[in-house]
C-alpha cells in the first residue's frame, strides 16, 4: 500500500519511476530484486548479524535479507524520506519482522542514530547516486561497521546519460542558428531537462559528477580494504512496453518525464515530431536500455 504522505522520493519510487502503471511496476521491482540479490550476496549475511540498509526506500533489500537469513537478523532501516520509512515500517509489520527492525530517518552522510562499530554489514542500493557528499557517506559506513564488517553496494552510473546530452548539445550548437536540425534540437531540450548537459553541470551534480572508479577511490579513502568492484552493463531491449508508459517514466527523482515536459514546454507540432520519430521504436520493443551498475564490496579491516 502506498503511504498517505508523499515526498519527492516516495512519489518517484512508488509512482513516477514506473509511470504509475501497476504491471510495469512489477517488472521494475523484479529487475531491482535481482540487483538486491547481488547486494545481499556481497554482504555475506549470517544468522544473528545486524544489517544496516541505508536509503532503504520501500525496503526491497531488507525484506529479501530476512527471507534469506531468517528471523534472527536484526536490521537498521534508514532513509531520508519519512513517507518511505513509514511505508517500510508497515511492510515490516506485514512481514512479521517489525520487532527485528529499527527505523532511522536521516541522510547517509550522518548516520546519527547508529553507534560506532554497531553493525556487521551495511548495504546501499541506488542511494549514493543521490548523495551530495559521497565521501562522508562512505566514512559513516566505515564508522558504523564492526571491524571485519562488510559494505555491499550497487549504484547506477548515470554519468554516461549526461555525457550523451552534452554531446548532443555540442552537435546542435555546431550547426548555424536558423539552420539547425529541428529533431535534434527537440531531443536536446528533452535530454537537457532530465540530465545536466554541460561539462560544469555534469561535474557539479551528485548524479553525474562521479563514475564507478570514483566510488572505488572514495571507499578506499574511507579506510575500506580489500575492495572489489564490478561494473555491469547490460545492453538489451528496453522493458518499457509502450508509448504511454514511455511518456510517463521519470528517469530519476529530480527529472521530469517526457510526458510532463510535453505538457509544460513543447507545443503540438513539437510533440508530434518527437512522437512520429520515437514512437515506432518504443511500441515495437526495439528500444535499447543500458543501465550501467557498479557493484562494490569492501571490508572494514580488523
Nearer to ligand SAM, 21 or 58 (CB): 58
Per rule CB under 6 A, is residue 81 in the interface with ligand SAM?
Answer: yes
Task: Single out the segment in contact with ligand SAM by CB under 6 A; choices: 56-64, 142-150, 177-185, 267-275.
Answer: 56-64
Question: Sheet holding 50-54: strands in order across?
Answer: 101-105, 74-79, 50-54, 119-125, 145-156, 293-299, 227-232
State which of positions 130-169 bind ligand SAM (CB under 6 A): 130-131
What letters, b where the CB count within 10 A reaches 16 and e where it falls short, cover 182-221?
Answer: eeeebbbbbbbbbbbbeeebbeebebbbbbbeebbebbee
Least distance in Å: CB of 107 to ligand SAM? 4
From CA 83, how far away is CA 109, in angstroms rounded? 19
Least distance in Å: CB of 233 to ligand SAM? 19
Per rule CB under 6 A, is residue 293 in the interface with ligand SAM?
Answer: no
Which residue from 43, 45, 60, 141 is in contact with ligand SAM, where contact means CB under 6 A? Answer: 60
Per rule CB under 6 A, is residue 114 in the interface with ligand SAM?
Answer: no
The sign of the torsion formed by the CA atoms of 91, 97, 99, 102 equals negative
From CA 138, how far away is CA 179, in angstroms rounded? 49
Per rule CB under 6 A, is residue 91 in the interface with ligand SAM?
Answer: no
Least distance in Å: CB of 144 to ligand SAM? 13
From CA 219, how far away is CA 134, in angstroms rounded? 9
Residues that bind ligand SAM (CB under 6 A): 9, 13, 32, 36, 54-58, 60-61, 79-81, 84, 107-108, 125-127, 130-131
Amino acid at each position: 500500500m502506498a503511504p498517505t504522505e508523499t515526498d519527492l522520493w516516495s512519489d518517484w519510487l512508488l509512482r513516477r519511476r514506473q509511470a504509475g502503471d501497476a504491471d510495469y511496476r512489477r517488472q521494475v521491482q523484479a529487475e531491482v530484486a535481482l540487483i538486491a540479490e547481488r547486494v545481499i550476496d556481497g554482504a555475506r549475511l549470517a544468522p544473528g548479524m545486524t544489517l544496516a540498509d541505508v536509503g532503504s526506500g520501500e525496503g526491497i533489500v531488507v525484506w529479501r535479507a530476512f527471507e534469506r537469513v531468517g528471523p534472527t537478523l536484526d536490521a537498521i532501516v534508514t532513509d531520508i524520506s519519512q513517507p518511505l520509512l513509514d511505508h517500510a515500517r508497515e511492510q515490516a509489520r506485514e512481514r512479521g519482522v517489525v520487532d527485528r527492525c529499527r527505523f532511522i530517518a536521516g541522510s547517509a552522510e550522518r548516520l546519527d542514530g547508529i553507534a560506532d562499530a554497531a553493525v556487521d554489514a551495511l548495504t546501499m542500493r541506488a542511494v549514493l547516486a543521490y548523495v551530495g557528499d559521497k565521501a562522508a557517506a562512505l566514512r559513516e559506513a566505515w564508522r558504523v561497521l564492526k571491524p571485519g564488517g562488510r559494505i555491499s553496494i550497487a549504484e547506477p552510473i548515470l554519468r554516461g546519460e549526461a555525457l550523451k546530452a552534452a554531446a548532443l548539445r555540442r552537435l546542435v550548437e555546431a550547426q548555424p542558428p536558423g539552420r539547425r536540425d529541428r529533431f535534434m534540437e527537440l531531443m536536446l531540450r528533452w535530454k537537457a531537462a532530465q540530465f545536466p548537459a554541460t561539462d560544469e553541470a555534469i561535474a557539479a551534480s551528485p548524479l553525474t559528477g562521479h563514475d564507478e572508479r570514483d566510488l572505488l577511490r572514495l571507499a578506499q579513502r574511507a579506510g575500506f580494504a580489500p575492495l572489489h568492484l564490478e561494473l555491469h552493463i547490460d545492453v538489451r531491449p528496453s522493458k518499457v512496453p509502450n508509448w504511454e508508459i514511455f511518456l510517463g517514466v521519470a528517469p530519476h527523482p529530480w527529472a521530469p518525464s517526457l510526458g510532463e515536459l510535453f505538457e509544460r514546454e513543447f507545443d503540438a507540432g513539437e510533440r508530434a515530431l518527437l512522437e512520429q520519430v520515437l514512437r515506432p521504436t518504443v511500441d515495437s520493443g526495439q528500444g535499447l536500455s543500458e543501465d550501467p551498475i557498479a557493484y562494490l564490496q569492501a571490508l572494514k579491516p580488523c
